[in-house]
């Protein structure tokens, strides 16, 4: 918006020969807003990276606990923490991470599997895939 306004003020200054200094501060304000937007984008990408790392650490830990040993042993640990610790999030930890730390996640998984056992949609999909 400020760059469009800068262009308009440059045109106005050229036509009317007054306020020739006006495009400069408007352009500087526009540059400051672009810089602030860049800082916000940098912070957002760092939060997104931390979230993805936490999700992958959780998935790895869940796979190690739930998958049969012969399958889990085929894969090596990857990532910064080698699948041994969750990434640190500054603002909010995901609820499932708390459940995993308190060893209550496995009970919830079992309850969900019990609910899915009577699901006719899942049985049809499994029959077509298998």
pLDDT greater at residue 112 or residue 120: 112
Segment 16-66, tens digit of pLDDT: 877 788 888 988 998 999 999 999 999 999 999 888 888 887 777 777 777
Q: Cα dihedral angle (110, 111, 112, 117), rounded to 10 degrees?
A: 90
Q: Which two tokens stand for residue 46?
A: 């760092």
First CA to last CA distance, the chain: 57
pLDDT greater at residue 8 or residue 63: 8
pLDDT score of 13 more than 70: yes
> Of 14, 81, 4, 95, which is closest to residue 50 (Cα–Cα)?
81
Q: Which two tokens stand for residue 117?
A: 């056992």
Task: Delimit the domains of the chain by residue range.
Answer: 2-93, 103-130
The number of residues making up the chain comes to: 130
Provide the pLDDT for residue 77: 61
> Of 83, 86, 85, which is closest to residue 73 (Cα–Cα)?
83
Q: What is the mean pLDDT of residues 68-88?
A: 62
pLDDT greater at residue 95 or residue 34: 34
Model pTM? Answer: 0.46
């Amino acid at each position: 918006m400020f760059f469009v306004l800068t262009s308009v003020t440059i045109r106005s200054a050229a036509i009317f020969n007054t306020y020739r200094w006006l495009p400069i501060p408007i352009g500087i304000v526009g540059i400051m807003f672009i810089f602030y937007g860049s800082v916000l984008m940098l912070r957002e990408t760092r939060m997104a990276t931390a979230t993805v790392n936490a999700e992958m650490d959780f998935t790895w830990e869940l796979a190690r606990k739930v998958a049969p040993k012969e399958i889990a042993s085929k894969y090596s640990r990857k990532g910064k923490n080698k699948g041994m610790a969750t990434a640190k999030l500054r603002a909010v930890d995901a609820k499932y991470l708390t459940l995993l730390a308190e060893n209550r996640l496995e009970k919830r998984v079992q309850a969900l599997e019990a609910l899915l056992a009577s699901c006719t949609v899942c049985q049809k999909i499994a029959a077509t895939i298998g």
